[in-house]
Amino acid sequence: MSNYAKRISSLPPYLFAEIDARKLEAERKGADIIDLGVGDPDLPTPPHIVEAACHAANDPSNHQYPSYEGMLVFREAVAAWYRQRMHVKLDAADEVITLIGSKEGIAHSPLAFLDPGGTALVPDPAYPVYTNATVLADSTPYPLPLTDEHDFKPDLESIDRGVAKRARIMFLNYPNNPTAATAEKSFFKAVVDFANEHDLIVLHDNPYSELTFDGYEAPSFLAVAGAKEVGIEFGSLSKTYNMTGWRIGFAVGNSDLIKGLKLVKTNIDSGVFQALQIAGIAALTGSQDCVKSNVRIYRERRDILLDGLRSAGIEVKKPKATFYLWAAVPDGFSSIEFSIFLLERAGVVTTPGVGFGENGEGFVRFSLCVSAERLREACERIKWLREENERCKKHKQPTEN
């Protein structure tokens, strides 16, 4: 590590490493592992999107460098989708930029908006890129606790006013990873007011907006009056259209902020392969029946896992969005200990909440990215494990841990 830059050595430790190592060891020994830790759709990309990409890839005009900001026709498709779905009007030329997946834009944002020594308000628990990108920009992440008491939304009133004045950007993400919490427009309006009061840039990460259940529709941050004056929103085709490996997304909103992000990108990357953007157009402008099908599948899986975990005595709320369940860890375990326990005793992989930040302790995240059949099997294993523990307690024979 002595040869690395200080910013690299200051990154938080990779807390999932031990679980990954134990998973590989279990697989080497022939264990049947059910991986509920990864948020990567197991469903295929819809055929009409694949066909559009293949056709475009065969066109030599798409084989050269793309534009830095993305094809205008793709950005127009994004703007049209926002107008129809989110009721948000965007100027495709100045308020939309194409990204190599939304993660890329999120990671580059601190470079655009933070000077060295700056401060970012970062939810805790949260997608680790918010913190890591801040650190890589030689700046300091200030954690905003997301607790059950406040429905896993930051308590804006409790944020130290000195820190708020010092901060330059605030990351948000609803529907939320890892907690599956949702936010209404009233919360976003409070965020806009807070941002105006403290001269903050709001960066809203919104990849799960279309994976919603039971009549709930996730709003765009930009749908709130004044939001476009203070922030931008990141969108992704990854979760909505099962395109995680394709790496295409977008940022929309304030034109000056979009310009700032573009200035970083022009010095770091060379844009998105045009065939992928054409595939993205097919996704955004084509039939949305594939999205409805995804939602039906994830809803069925959610209900299977929800019922199974509750029957095993694990506390978990019914989520209205995302493909995650955020479950409370039983007494006597840390989140890492419980994840290892489930892996070694039941062959079920989960993600320990503390891996998303200190305030994730006490929870584990379950993903719905496996078949209904495998989810039922996972539930049976976990339920058996609970019953076995109860039998051992009854006979005062503690299980191996």
Q: In the prediction, which pLDDT does 293 show?
A: 98
pLDDT of residue 292: 98
Domains in the chain: boundaries = 6-44+289-389, 47-285
Condensed to tens digits (0 to 9), the pLDDT of residues 314-365 reads 999 999 999 999 999 999 999 999 999 999 999 999 999 999 999 999 999 9
- The answer to whether residue 102 scores a pLDDT higher than 50 is yes
Higher local confidence (pLDDT), 13 or 242: 242
* Cα–Cα nearest to 37, from 390, 399, 378: 378
Alpha-carbon distance of 156 to 144, in angstroms, equals: 9
Model pLDDT for residues 287-304, shown as the tens digit of each residue? 999 999 999 999 999 999
Q: How far apart are CA 123 and CA 179, in angstroms?
A: 11
Residue type, 116: P
pTM, to two decimals: 0.94
Whether residue 343 contacts residue 351, with contact meaning beta carbons closer than 8 Å, is answered with no
Strands 348-349 and 34-35: parallel
Instruction: From 236, 173, 231, 230, select the one nearest 41 (Cα to Cα).
Output: 236
DSSP 137: T
Q: What's residue 1's pLDDT?
A: 45
pLDDT at 393: 62
CATH for 6-44+289-389 (3.40.50.1970, 3.90.1150.10, 3.30.870.10, 3.90.640.10): 3.90.1150.10
Angle at 191 between CA 188 and CA 192, to 5 degrees: 90
DSSP 8-state assignment for residue 167 = -
What CATH architecture does domain 47-285 belong to? 3-Layer(aba) Sandwich (3.40)
Mean pLDDT of 221-235: 98
**Long-range contacts, stretch 45-48, CB < 8 angstroms, 24+ apart:** 45/241, 45/242, 45/243, 45/246, 46/241, 46/242, 46/283, 46/290, 48/282, 48/286, 48/287
| Measured distance between the N- and C-terminal CA atoms of the chain, rounded to whole angstroms | 33
> Would you state the pLDDT for residue 198?
97
| Structure confidence at residue 396 (pLDDT) | 60
For residue 353, what pLDDT is reported?
A: 96
Quick: pLDDT tens for 164-208: 999 999 999 999 999 999 999 999 999 999 999 999 999 999 999
pLDDT at 245 exceeding the cut of 90: yes
pLDDT at 41 over 50: yes
> Residues 174, 180, 186, CA angle at the centre, nearest 5°?
40
State the alpha helices, DSSP H only, in 315-371.
Answer: 335-346
Q: What is the mean pLDDT of residues 268-284?
A: 97
Pairing of strands 169-173, 119-124: parallel
Confidence of residue 242 (pLDDT cuts 50, 70, 90): very high
**Range with lowest mean pLDDT among 14-28, 32-46, 91-105, 215-229:** 14-28
pLDDT grade for 12, boundaries at 50, 70 and 90 = confident
Assess whether pLDDT exceeds 90 at residue 398.
no
Residue count of the chain? 401
How far is the C-alpha of 254 from the C-alpha of 306, rounded, in Å? Answer: 39
